[in-house]
Amino acid sequence: MLRETCLPSCLSIRTVPSASAIPRQTWEGLCPAGHPFLNADFLTIIEAHGAAARAWGWAARHLLASDESGRIVGLLPLYVKTHSHGDFIYDWSWAAAYRQLGRQYYPKLMSCLPHTPVAGPRFLVAAGPQAASIRQALLDAARELLGSAGLSSWHVALPAADELTLLQSAGLLISHDVQFHWLNAGGGDFDGYLASFSAAKRRKVRAERRRVQESGLAIETRHGDQIDPAEWPLLHALYADTFEKFNNHAVFSAACFADLATALGRRMVAFIARDGGLPVAVAICFRSDEALYGRYWGCRGNYHSLHFELCFYQGIAYCLQQGLARFEPGAGGEHKLSRGFTPSAVHSAHWIADPEMRAVLARHLALQGQALADYREQAAAHLPFRRDFSPPSTR
């Protein structure tokens, strides 16, 4: 356990064992307004339902920074993890390298949104002249916790750009990845969006959507507060069956989804396909005031192009209708390119305690960075847009 210390800036740092131990007003004061994952509910609910709890290899060690009056002015969500599932830093090969050298990689320390590959702020800090000092104090405290607990490493998954600069200047290694994001170019509606495609690519998308329309399925959009709690077991079964089909574990329960829907309301968005009134497929998304985030897909049966319709086209149409700037449909998936999702660079940061392993991983990540830059450039050449159309640039 990290000891409570008074820092030169008169900040004290302590850990808490759950998101529920942090007052709601703290979350509301430190988190971005309207964010679907950084709020008083998301982490609390998924921890309470076990998706980010000890039983599944997640042990919360959230860091809180308080000023001399006792007011909480900084928060860094942290978990001690015994595996690499659900954190999206793709470090299984690192763990294998540790084993080959007779060293122990797990447990490790993670700053991330569990099961959620969404980039954004990780150091939640009150605005003001002390903001930089608070971030630095939280960073130092995380490294102290790493050392006192004898952990191999600390990882910050998908931090905001300014945080990445801070972490790199503090000596953390930077890893690189590519996600595929839809960026709103202001096409008005879906037909306006398709007008930016080449003729052949436009025909392909229309054919896929037509196949779904001709299937007889009814497609609907529901926000969390519009879904009857009694329907969550049916929707959850679609998600769970699909995860099991691909030998993955469905960590979210029906009760967890129901509680998230109640708490988040319109910040949860579900695209549901029904056959004779019964749900046969669902894409569960979340939204902020700026973006839509695709997260969980489930389907029972074989319906041509239904995955593309619910996971991509319905989300794009929703963003256009709602005026959202981007749609992040999740990690991976080159098939997103032909639907207009642009390859976007994302990064994570890593503090490796062992000097020898740090040197090995530094060389690996330098090569990875160049390879990912080349891949991103090559992938962008396969976007479906007309030659005279300039899509929005990515970060």
Ranges in the chain, pLDDT < 50: 1, 3, 8
Identify the pLDDT of residue 2: 53
The two tokens of residue 95 are 């763990």
Q: Hey, which CATH number is domain 185-324, 3.40.720.10, 3.40.50.720, 3.40.50.2300, 3.40.630.30?
A: 3.40.630.30
**d(Cα 311, Cα 88) in Å, to the nearest integer?**
20
**d(Cα 16, Cα 78) in Å, to the nearest integer?**
10
β-sheet bridge partners, residue 328: 293
Identify the pLDDT of residue 1: 44
Q: Indicate the pairing of strand 326-328 with strand 291-299.
A: parallel
Sheet holding 62-66, edge to edge: 5-6, 12-16, 62-66, 72-76, 124-125
Identify the pLDDT of residue 10: 81
State in words which class domain 5-177+345-380 has: alpha beta
Identify the pLDDT of residue 339: 96
Identify the pLDDT of residue 107: 98
**d(Cα 328, Cα 116) in Å, to the nearest integer?**
11
What are the residue boundaries of the structural domains of the chain, listed by start?
5-177+345-380, 185-324
Fold matches, 5-177+345-380 and 185-324: yes
Asked if residue 47 lies in contact with residue 20, where contact means CB atoms within 8 angstroms, the answer is: yes
Identify the pLDDT of residue 248: 81
Sheet holding 218-223, edge to edge: 58-60, 79-81, 108-111, 153-156, 342-352, 173-183, 326-328, 291-299, 278-287, 268-275, 218-223
Asked if residue 88 lies in contact with residue 117, where contact means CB atoms within 8 angstroms, the answer is: yes
Please give, one letter per residue, the 3-state secondary structure of 236-283.
Answer: HHHHHHHHHHCCCCCCCCHHHHHHHHHHHHHHEEEEEEEECCEEEEEE
* Alpha-carbon separation of residue 164 from 5, 110, 176, 349, 383 (angstroms): 26, 15, 11, 7, 28
